[in-house]
Amino acid sequence: MVHVTRGFTGRHPATDDRLPPGQYLTDDFPVLSAGPTPAIRRDEWTFSVRDGDQALRSWTWDEFTALPAEDITVDIHCVTRWSRLDTTWRGVAIDDLLADVDTAAEYVLARSYGGYTTNLPLEDLLDGKAWIAYEHDGDDLPAEHGGPARLLVPHLYLWKSAKWIKSLDLVDDDDPGFWESLGYHDYGDPWREQRYQGD
């Protein structure tokens, strides 16, 4: 039930039909994370695809950035209600990273340097829907936005696009990640306003 607030008229900021419900447009790129920004050196960075405890594939920075990359232009939506349209990135499609991986797993747990995790259905990372991005706006991805590299899953709230990505773990069960175990929604579709558990 909608309850009208006495005296509130609102500013009605400009909207756009690309803006999911409850979001506002910004040109800023606000930074949100649970703790300080990890500083990960590129010569120490590795990224792997793992099945349980076992690394199926693993790349160093040089190996990873030698992979075929794509330029990506997408809208992004943060659960804290800001959205940005037409953000530009460069990175490697998850389809390419998983091309010769044969798995029955249906879920992925993304793991980050610093210990952050987030869970996603595997199919949400495939068919051109997700990338490991290492450039933003034509520049190296800054540490506060997840550099050296982050997951990019623009069709879900941005907490799913794990910063400082370290591995994608293929898993059979959909166990909640960091924010998901702290009350956030398991899936996080901005168009259905799946912010918190129970939405």
Residues that bind another protein (CB under 8 A): 2-13, 22, 30-38, 80-81, 114-115, 144, 179, 182-183, 196
Q: How far is the CB of 30 from another protein (least distance, A)?
A: 6
Q: Which residue in 22, 160, 16 sits closest to 86, CA to CA?
A: 16
Question: How many angstroms separate the CA atoms of 38 and 44, rounded?
Answer: 13
Q: What is the DSSP string of 23-44?
A: -EE-SS-----SSPPP---TTT
Q: How far is the CB of 55 from another protein (least distance, A)?
A: 24
Closer residue to another protein, CB minimum distance, 64 or 159: 159
Closer residue to another protein, CB minimum distance, 47 or 178: 178
Closer residue to another protein, CB minimum distance, 2 or 99: 2
Question: How many angstroms separate the CA atoms of 98 and 119, rounded?
Answer: 17
Question: How many angstroms separate the CA atoms of 99 and 185, rounded?
Answer: 29
Residue 78, SS3? coil
Question: How many angstroms separate the CA atoms of 133 and 199, rounded?
Answer: 29
Question: How many angstroms separate the CA atoms of 135 and 146, rounded?
Answer: 10
Name beta bridge partners: 72. Answer: 89
Closer residue to another protein, CB minimum distance, 127 or 199: 199
Question: How many angstroms separate the CA atoms of 142 and 32, rounded?
Answer: 14
Q: How far is the CB of 22 from another protein (least distance, A)?
A: 6
Q: How far is the CB of 56 from another protein (least distance, A)?
A: 28
What residue type is assigned to position 32 of the chain? L
Closer residue to another protein, CB minimum distance, 91 or 190: 190
Closer residue to another protein, CB minimum distance, 77 or 90: 77
